Amino acid sequence: MRLALAEGNLDILRLLSNTTIRMIEGEIIGLEQNGRADLSIDDYVDVVTRKTGLLFGACCRRWMCITLAPALNAALASRAISSGVTGT
């Protein structure tokens, strides 16, 4: 989220916010349905989609990856250097 804020791209912020909210909803639904023997396949797929599928979908959006890649790489490189991790 910090990188998206730093970039100032509202489309990415909306995507991350919506994805996060739906993932939280999926976690709550999953907790409510935990241990239910009568859980339908459709309900199970809905929970899995919300908890995992949405995250992967958001990460794989082409425009998001292209927009965030330079800032993300710079942030990761900076963190690695400051913690003593090098590429060798």
d(CA 88, CA 76): 15
pLDDT of residue 86: 44
Tens digits of per-residue pLDDT, 9-56? 677 778 788 888 988 998 999 899 988 889 899 988 888 888 888 888
Q: Which residue stretches of the chain are H helix?
A: 2-7, 10-33, 41-48, 54-60, 62-82
Q: What are the residue boundaries of the structural domains of the chain, listed by start?
A: 2-82
Region 53-62: mean pLDDT is 75
Higher per-residue confidence, 52 vs 82:
52
pLDDT of residue 51: 81
For the record, the structure tokens of 74 come out as: 């710079």
Higher per-residue confidence, 66 vs 51:
51
This prediction has a pTM of 0.59
Does pLDDT of 57 surpass 70? Answer: yes
For the record, the structure tokens of 22 come out as: 């739906």
d(CA 87, CA 30): 40
